[in-house]
A and B are shown apart, each in its own frame.
Chain A
Amino acid sequence: MKHHRAHLLVCAGTGCVSCGAFDVKTALKKEIERRGLADEILVVATGCNGFCEKGPIVLVRPDDIFYQRLSVDDIPLLVEEHLIKGRPVARLMYTPPADTKPVPKMADIEFFRHQRLIVLRNRGRIDPEKIEEYIAYDGYQAMAKALTEMTPEEIIAEISASGLRGRGGAGFPTGKKWDLCRKEKASPKYLICNGDEGDPGAFMDRSVLEADPHAVLEGMVIAARAISAARGFIYIRNEYPLAIQRLDIAIRSAREFGLLGENILGSGFDFDVEIVRGAGAFVSGEETALIASIEGQRAAPRQRPPYPAQSGLWGQPTTINNVETWANVPSIIRRGAAWFAGLGTETSKGTKVFSLVGKINNTGLVEVPMGIRLDEIVNNIGGGIPNGRKFKAVQIGGPSGGCIPTELLDLPVDYESLTRAGAMMGSGGMIVMDEDTCMVDIALYFLRFTQEESCGKCAPCRIGTRRMAEILAGIAAGEGRPGDIEKLEELAWTVKRGSLCGLGQTAPNPVLSTLRYFRDEYRAHIEDKTCPARVCKNLISFAIDPEKCVGCLLCLKACPVNAIAGERKKVHVIDQALCIKCGACFTACPVKIGAVSKLTGEKGRALVPEATRATTS
């Protein structure tokens, strides 16, 4: 590496890569070479920057200018204007949804301003494929300290004092888990990194692995020394090729530098890891199922206790932690437990990475201090709800999490508050919903997911979730009967209590939490046969307002089943018998005309198309 006057940090996380980051990077390099700037300007590929929705992203340092949604065609202008003439290009910058002026500097963009980076501290800053860059930002210093200056007891005491809890879902204290494993007599012992990440819509762990794979490796070596393990496994689903590739490079370079393998840093300590590719079923993320999968068996959970710390992989004591948990470890050892414990709330320390998706302006990956209010995440970082719609709920904790309604937007985000509100931290998926979301429909969606992913081992989970899904589907179809709500609740508690693993124990959560906060919406479906959010197809209809329709033909052309009749400049009419309620006409009718309306609980008036009426005007 040489001294350059500018570094262009091109995001090469999965999100940006899928919308062309590598092409942008190639174009940048070519243009820079063509302009004879190759010696002055360095192009670096980094891991996910978080603001994936705005990809491809390039950050220019030291100026801190944030460019977004770049295309190959933008590159010559960007190089000419910014890098040669020093005039940053406003057109390629980010403009907040409610604003017209762009915000040039990354540090000033709301999405980034409220974040606090520990786990993702190297995101968008280092090239994850160059071990030297990780080392430049204090990488492997904590490991060196743990190997040469600390006893296993001291390492565990430090992690315990930090208050770090597992980021994979349940939030078990990490220090305690390590200590249980350390105290086991049997040897060998194993370490596992859980990178299964089966939650739909979640990509926290993938991003950590892509942006900073060495942080995970360093965390594992520190734990290996604490519990005296010599071998570790990193379980990643096969759908994450970029994460696997970066991790593979990281492992090989760490070995080459003597930071993994035999006699690490000359300390006499040996530890090595290997990657295991998972098939990617949701249940294989459950720790006992994951262990079975590494052993080459079918990924089905088994009874606990014994816990993996006592009897895990091949019956040996095993410490299993989540990707994000591992990535927290180096900072805690390097900067000390007190520093970490100074962040967050009484019971939840440090930060948490969330993937913010759904009906929200700024979707992406965010890392925030524990205890931050939900409102700050949704409105300040997330930039609020698009299209002038109203916020309705946020679903937290993945498929088995719960929905938190508007009234609770003030809720501090920590393990206990979320659980009390009927949701859970889970691995960090956050799905924002607006007023056009039907809560019955949402509960059904998540329940179907868990039902399909149930391994079928226990009856309450296998049969109970199916029965619940049937009742919900009935309600959504307008066939709900009095007593359905009570039946759902009863089933939910049976499934929760009678299931063997966390999947069954939490699967009813979406139903229970939507019943808790949106019971009226269930009642409307059952008693009035209406869907207040106008989503459930059997309970809605589309109608054209003859007063508003200008006869532009747009809806007619959009309708896939020719259910609309009409002629140019004549009022159009929907034939309710033919309509399949796809909503294409609703979307097609220009917003400022708004002649198509979505109705629930009433049918559109039976009209004759104007063109065929006896009297024409």
Chain B
Amino acid sequence: MTKKLTIQDLAAMRDKTRSLTVLRDGAGRAKVTVHMGTCGIAAGARDIMETLLEEIRSRGLQDVIVTTSGCAGLCNREPMATVEIKDQPPVKYVRLTPDKMRRVIAEHVLDGRIVAEYALAVGSETMY
């Protein structure tokens, strides 16, 4: 099987592959951090992570970076995630469930509307 490319194919291949490697540049439009300290994991952070990745895949989102971080110091409100839209302050969501996570993606990540009912506060810890 040969796949001789034309110039249009070349451009299309660039755009497609590039969208998948965008996180190697450490730059995306939005970044979602799932807090994965011990209590976060115990409270179900893994399910949140899986939901998040599933949503990103099924919606074909290519500019959303997903990372993890450690204990945020609010163990009683886990699972938590922080959503950062480029050039906007980060928003921390607490006591998430897979359904809540889906709503955060639809409304905050995609539409830019903060889901105030789940949000704890605006702000984020650093990683070190």
Contact = CB atoms under 8 A, between A and B. Distances in A.
A61 interface: yes
Nearest to A125: B24
A86 B3 CA distance: 41
Given A3-B62, A5-B67, A86-B70, A259 B5 contact: yes
A148 interface: yes
Contacts of A62: 23-28, 31, 65, 67
Contacts of A417: none
Contacts of B66: 5-6, 40
Nearest to B12: A135
B128 A104 contact: yes
B51 to A, nearest CB: 12
Nearest to B6: A266
B17 A133 contact: yes
A7 B68 CA distance: 13
Interface stretch (B32-40, B86-94, B97-105, B115-123): B32-40
A2 B20 contact: yes
A256 interface: yes
Most buried by A among B2, B6, B7: B7
B20 A1 contact: yes
B49 interface: yes
Contacts of A63: 26, 67, 127
A262 to B, nearest CB: 9
Nearest to B17: A136
Contact of A266 (B4, B25, B41): B4
Nearest to A65: B127
Interface of A: prevailing SS: loop
Contacts of B27: 62
Range, interface on chain A = 35 or more
B23 A61 contact: yes
A2 B65 CA distance: 13
B21 A133 contact: yes
Given A62-B65, A64-B26, A86-B33, A1 B10 contact: no
Interface stretch (A138-146, A362-370, A535-543, A559-567): A138-146
A136 B5 contact: no
A388 B62 CA distance: 49
B56 interface: yes
B74 interface: no
A3 B38 CA distance: 26
Contacts of B110: none
B26 A148 contact: no
Contacts of B57: 2-3
A153 interface: no
A83 interface: yes
Nearest to B32: A5
A132 B17 contact: yes
Contacts of A342: none
14 contacts: A3-B20, A5-B68, A7-B24, A40-B49, A61-B26, A62-B27, A62-B65, A86-B70, A104-B127, A144-B10, A257-B5, A258-B2, A265-B5, A266-B4
Task: Name the 6 nearest CB pairs between A and B, nearest first.
Answer: A86-B68, A258-B4, A136-B17, A5-B66, A86-B69, A87-B70
Given A62-B27, A87-B70, 17 more contacts: A4-B23, A5-B67, A6-B67, A39-B53, A61-B26, A62-B31, A62-B65, A63-B67, A84-B41, A86-B69, A87-B69, A88-B127, A132-B17, A135-B10, A137-B21, A144-B10, A258-B2
Interface of A: 1-7, 9, 39-40, 61-64, 82-88, 90, 104, 125-126, 132-133, 135-141, 144, 148, 256-259, 263, 265-266
Interface of B: 2-7, 10, 13-14, 17-18, 20-21, 23-28, 31, 33-38, 41, 49, 53, 56-57, 61-62, 65-70, 127-128
